[in-house]
A = this chain, B = another copy of it.
Amino acid sequence: MPQAKLNEDERRSALAELSNWALTPGRDAIRRVFVFRNFSEAFGFMARAALTAEKLNHHPEWSNVYKTVDVTLSTHDVDGLTELDLKLARSMDKIAATMGV
């Protein structure tokens, strides 16, 4: 069963809740840049987020340079934001928060 794209109301309330994430210009996607203390912490975050992503069977687009992890979330199957993106974003926020970010 494919995920349904968020409607306008759902999108608005999701973005209000996910205050560290912003819509990506020109795409129906959200983005957050996480900055940690060093590579070890940045990759530790990625390892934990990867486990969540695999469990959700929903994966981020992300890049890492030293202590920075730049994450974009969107659902490729529907070319837009779905509930899966919100779940993964919330989980990443929680993981980062446990690391003081």
Question: What is the interface of chain A, defined by CB distance below 8 A to chain B?
Answer: 39-40, 43, 46-47, 50, 53-54, 59-66
Contacts and interface: CB of A to CB of B under 8 A. Distances in A.
B61 A63 contact: yes
Contacts of A65: 59, 61
A39 B59 contact: yes
A54 B61 CA distance: 23
Contact of A54 (B39, B50, B62): B39
A43 B50 contact: yes
Closest 6 CB pairs of A and B: A63-B63, A43-B50, A61-B65, A39-B59, A59-B66, A62-B64
Contacts of A50: 39, 43
